[in-house]
């Protein structure tokens, strides 16, 4: 399971021109679910993201996680993160989980985030939808986090 996190001052998601989610300062997570991922990977990646220290402490060092910074988390499903780009000029998606499995693990990730953090601080995109994601990257600060095989 892969998660591309970006520290943002704000982020939002629109579907069919209608805003369905938005956050202020926090993390935008683009979540990619791969073929062999399980509930364990969803929980492990959630824990890693919520505890990953990418916010500045009083000395200006990245030493504070999103929870301690009082930030929010916007989780957007993005199957293209599971793409095989090793050869050629067109991505392959054989590594991506089947849609029904990916959606189940995406939902499990959201449940874990809301249990470990708080309902009010976790927003979500729409699985399987054509989304418009807007963000203001703070830094810019962007990291790819992975768990599992």
CB atoms within 10 A of CB 140: 10
β-partners of residue 12 are 22, 134
**CA pair distance 80, 66, nearest whole angstrom:** 25
Pairing of strands 131-146, 18-23: unpaired
Q: Which of 42, 75, 71 is nearest to 146 (CA)?
A: 42
Helix pair angle (39-51, 99-116), 10° resolution: 40
Q: State whether the Cα torsion 79-131-67-62 is positive or negative.
A: positive
CA distances from 79 to 33, 52, 68, 123, 128 (A): 6, 22, 29, 18, 9
Hey, which residues are catalytic here?
78-80
């Amino acid at each position: 399971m892969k998660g591309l996190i970006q520290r943002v001052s704000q982020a939002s998601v629109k579907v069919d021109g209608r805003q369905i989610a938005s956050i202020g300062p926090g993390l935008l997570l683009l979540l990619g679910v791969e073929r062999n991922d399980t509930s364990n990977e969803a929980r492990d990646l959630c824990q890693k993201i919520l505890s990953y220290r990418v916010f500045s402490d009083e000395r200006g060092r990245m030493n504070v996680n999103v929870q301690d910074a009082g930030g929010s988390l916007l989780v957007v499903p993005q199957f293209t993160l599971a793409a095989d780009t090793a050869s050629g000029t067109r991505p392959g998606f054989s590594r991506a989980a089947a849609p029904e499995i990916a959606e189940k693990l995406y939902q499990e990730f959201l449940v874990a985030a809301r249990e470990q953090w708080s309902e009010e601080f976790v927003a979500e995109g729409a699985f399987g939808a054509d989304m418009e994601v807007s963000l203001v990257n703070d830094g810019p600060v962007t990291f790819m986090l992975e768990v599992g095989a």
